[in-house]
């Protein structure tokens, strides 16, 4: 029987990996998950935050997903939206979903993304401001490093709160399903409870 989502895959055009890393890691705050060697030659990138896994696969006949999209649960949606806008990312608010605050955005290749938070959680006081520096960024290219060198940010924090694969040194950051916080007590993009799993395909 089906028990959970393992990942969501979006398409991307050839040669877009650097731009994808700059956006998904440098702006959204996800962590890049290394692809297995047998799949890495195909190009593309895998990203994760908690139990949220996004795969960006290369399609030589790429057309952006303008309607179909993943919905990403966040904490502190106003702060998160400001963070995106300050870095030039698209933010379009929508109030048509009862009980939620949400906005839409687009990744660098035009794929639609939804970001949402239940209204009860959105009305809670936002966490204290924390410091984020370029050294927290994991993207290897200069574009992504520049995108994340932001000085002081209101939480959520986009460095240490990002989950890491179990094979990476250091503790794996897990998200608490009740609070939306990771093991360090920091907010960010949230998903199902549990540690990040190594994708299987």
Q: Which helix (H) or strand (E) holds 116?
A: strand 112-118
pTM exceeds 0.75:
no
Note the pLDDT of residue 114: 98
Note the pLDDT of residue 189: 57
- Is residue 2 assigned to a domain? no
Residue with the two structure tokens 């939206």: 81
pLDDT of 39-77, one tens digit each? 999 999 999 998 899 999 999 999 999 999 999 999 999
- Is residue 100 assigned to a domain? yes
Using DSSP, state whether 198 is helix, strand or coil: coil
- Is residue 54 assigned to a domain? yes
CATH code, domain with 162 = 3.10.180.10
- Is residue 1 assigned to a domain? no
**How far is 57 from 90, CA to CA, in rounded Å?**
22
Contact status, residue 190 vs residue 178, Cβ threshold 8 Å: no
Residue 177 has pLDDT above 50, yes or no: no
Q: How many domains, the chain?
A: 1
- Is residue 18 assigned to a domain? yes
Range of the domain at 109: 8-190
Q: What are the counts of helices (DSSP H) followed by strands (DSSP E) for the chain?
A: 5, 11
- Is residue 12 assigned to a domain? yes
Least confident of 35-44, 140-149, 189-198: 140-149
- Across the range 70-93, mean pLDDT stands at 96
Using DSSP, state whether 59 is helix, strand or coil: coil
């Amino acid at each position: 029987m089906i028990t959970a989502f393992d990942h969501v895959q979006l398409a991307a055009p050839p040669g877009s990996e650097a731009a994808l890393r700059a956006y998904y890691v440098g702006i959204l705050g996800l962590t890049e998950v290394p692809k297995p060697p047998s799949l890495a030659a195909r190009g593309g990138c895998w990203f994760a935050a908690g139990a949220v896994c996004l795969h960006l696969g290369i399609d030589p006949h790429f057309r952006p997903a303008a309607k179909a999209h993943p919905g990403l649960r966040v904490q502190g949606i106003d702060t998160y939206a400001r963070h995106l806008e300050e870095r030039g990312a698209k933010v379009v608010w929508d109030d048509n979903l009862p009980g939620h605050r949400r906005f839409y955005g687009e990744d660098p290749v035009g794929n639609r993304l939804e970001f949402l938070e239940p209204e009860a959680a959105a009305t809670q006081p936002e966490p204290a401001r924390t410091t984020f520096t370029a050294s927290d960024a994991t993207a290897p290219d200069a574009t992504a490093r520049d995108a994340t060198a932001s000085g002081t940010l209101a939480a959520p924090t986009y460095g240490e709160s990002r989950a890491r694969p179990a094979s990476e040194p250091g503790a794996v950051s897990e998200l608490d399903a009740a609070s939306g916080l990771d093991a360090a007590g920091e907010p960010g993009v949230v998903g199902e409870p549990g540690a990040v799993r190594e994708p299987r395909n």
